Amino acid sequence: MRCIGEGLLARTLPKADWTHEAHLAACLWLLRERPDFMPETGLPGTISAYNVAAGGENTGSAGYHETLAQLYVRGARAFAVTLPQGIALVDAVNALLGCETGDRQWPLCFYSRERLFNVAARRGWIEPDLADIPTG
C-alpha cells in the first residue's frame, strides 16, 4: 500500500497500477501517514503531474478529475476516523474498498452522470445535484 502512495508522489508508479483502488489506497496512506501532505490541496498537482509523467494528459475529457478527487478525499477522511486505533494500513484500505464509500459508483449517489462527467466537474469542484454529501 505504501508503495502505491510513494510511487504516486515520486511519479514512478506504473500507469497500469494507477487504478480506482490505487487512488483510494494512496489517499488513505496520505491521510494516515503523511500529515505534512494535505490531499485537498496537494492531490490536484500531484495527480496531474503523475498523469503526465506516466504518459497521460489532463484535459477536459481525460486525466485529473477535481470533483471526483475531492469527493473521495472527503469520503476517505470521514471513513478514516471510524477505523479502530492501530489497524494495519492494508486492513484499513481493504475495509475502505469494501464499503460504500470505496465503491466506484459511490459518487453517483450524489451526482447525475451528466453533472459529474463534464468538463466543469473535471476542472473544478462542483456541488452535487442529487443529494447532499454526508459531512461525517
- pLDDT computed for residue 88 by the predictor: 97
Residue the block writes with cell 478514516? 80
- How far is the C-alpha of 41 from the C-alpha of 36, rounded, in Å? 11
- How far is the C-alpha of 13 from the C-alpha of 125, rounded, in Å? 26
pTM of the model: 0.95
- pLDDT computed for residue 41 by the predictor: 98
Q: Please list the pLDDT of the chain residue by residue as tens digits (136 residues).
A: 799 999 999 999 999 999 999 999 999 999 999 999 999 999 999 999 999 999 999 999 999 999 999 999 999 999 999 999 999 999 999 999 999 999 999 999 999 999 999 999 999 999 999 999 987 6
Spatial CA neighbour of 77 closest among 5, 18, 134, 17: 134
Q: Where are the domains of the chain?
A: 2-123
Are 18 and 54 spatial neighbours (Cβ–Cβ below 8 Å)? yes
- pLDDT computed for residue 27 by the predictor: 98
Q: Is 61 helix (H, G, I), strand (E, B) or coil?
A: coil
